Structure 1
Amino acid sequence: MKNLIRIGLLASAALVLSALPARAADYRAEYRLSTVLPESFPWGAGGLRWAELIKERTGGRINVKMYPGTSLVGGDQTKEFTALRQGTIDLAVGSTINWSPQVRELNLFALPFLMPDYKAIDALTKGEVGRDLFAVLATKDVVPLAWGENGFREISNSKRDIHVPDDLKGLKIRVVGSPLFVETISALGGNPVQMSWADAQPAMATNAVDGQENPLSVFAAAKLHTVGQKHVTLWGYVADPLIFVVSRQVWDSWSPEDQRAVREAAEQAAAEEVALARKGISGNDDEMLKAIAANGVSVVRLTEAEKQAFQKATRPVFDKWVKLVGAPLVTKAEAAVAKR
């Protein structure tokens, strides 16, 4: 009888334990989170916030350490997504641009002049297009959780103001390792030079390149005016949404309760990161623009007519890449932008 009671108690205890969230001892001591930029930029701040929220919401069961500068892949941004799939990286706040070589559909956001404003970005990431892209990513060994934002990419250089496509002729412009960016700058008469962000600032300081294209938050945080970037043109030719993801293998090792906690943490961190990325440059808030100009930088705001000239010059590139991204997805995106 006593043995039966003991067996019953042990069985009850096992059921209780199985219903509890997985213990910290069952998980790794540390999970590796990759970002391109450190916490001094909105991108890195979003990654760090995610790590903090994960620890808080899981009661310390999941501990995440952020590795900025894509240091887990030797600083090569274009290798980050492959490393996620292979298990070198556990979590990431990644760029749609950097992952586009492995996920062709993500080139959607780099189609020149597809998105004219922040409402257009939101129409895509918060709508059916965003869900379609998450479905694509979910087939590639990762679990996408939330959309962040690196922002509209504006162009700067050390030589002159840019008002028309001809102003780009002959300028050596640093671009990320994406064929679409190379073709877009080439179509405008510029000389695109592919290099990592780690190499970009030294190249600008030594005049190995004349300019670059990046969100204003990056321009300001990196103090690019100190490396000769004295001319900025606001053209908003492409935007770079970020994606909060977890490796599928890691995700499947967590309890449902912790999966939910990590997802909620991603959603909160992403919302805070987007707000930070737009601070000082959107709506009636132009404090960052004023600060950039105060450093002796000439800031050019293109008129709609001037933007159309750039759009016309890059249209052959747009049309070519529609086929590579997928015409149905692009059509859906254009309709969402038009309805915004």
Structure 2
Amino acid sequence: MIYINEDSLAIVLQDYSESKGWFKSDEQITSIAKAGEGNMNVVLRVTTNLRSIIVKQSRPFVQKYQNIPAPIERIAVEHTFYKSIQNSSINHYTPNIFGFDPESFILVMEDLGDCDDMSFIYQDRTISDQHFNKLITIISGIHGTLPPSDFPDNIKMRELNHQHIFILPFLTDNGFSLDDIQPGLQQLSMPYKEDVILKRQVTSIGEKYLSNGQTLLHGDYYPGSWMSKNDSLYIIDPEFGFIGFPEFDLGVMAAHLIMATDDSSFIERIEKTYPKPIDIELLKKIAGIEIMRRLIGLAQLPLNRTLAEKTLLLQMSKNMILS
């Protein structure tokens, strides 16, 4: 098994890639660099004399927080997801796949170039109609794709995600001080962490998340997985993908658009724009849980909001969860 990082010797990666048949006969590596601030995996931009590619490897932990274990086979889920949609109408919204090594947990794919993830909407506090409509087109295309019968259940990744969405944010003492993020946030969070009725509803939705469904999901459909380049938009990082219920992806999408813009009408916009009937109450509950866990949980966002603004968002999210 080969381990990669930005300090990898080019000759080692060169020989490895040639042995896998991923390089052309006259292709030589000219540079290796870290490709952005990946949270889950090692992600490198490998430049050759002919092109630039992305080489991604999963490890048995979260790359950004290496004390948190994570299923190493998540890269295989990502590969299967991309393969599932390669013949669909939305395949041009995802990077092309050049190679996969299941033994070393390495995925090689197209370099999308000078792209930015759409976390900028948290600062801009707006999203264009064009981007919104493309996001709906993409997610409806994903949901409309018939996955292979052997698509991984990805239960270990779901269990990891379940802890961070439905469990840890709602513990009164989870070992994470919110005041380190923003003074006063810990006190603001306590009424929600101590609300038995709220937590019972969250637990119920969490059990549904862990159950099997019938729809191919991206599993992490938020601005960090949306890449924009001029008028183009791409979707990456489907390692949390699984076969579930469409309201999960749509609720997560709605939550982040609401947090970015303070506009709750995105729930109705999604319902009207998404081409198939959905359970709008379930979508609201997912959106409310996602908003709440991003404000009072461990997975914080680059969201510059006052305590007063977060108070309103938390009240809104509670109403969604208990709708």
Q: For this structure pair, what is the TM-score category when the shorter chain's length is used for normalisation?
A: under 0.3
Structure exhibiting the larger radius of gyration computed from Cα positions: 1
Q: Structure 1 length as normaliser, TM-score?
A: 0.25
Greater RCO structure (CA 8 Å; 6+ sep)? 1
Q: TM-score by structure 2 length?
A: 0.26
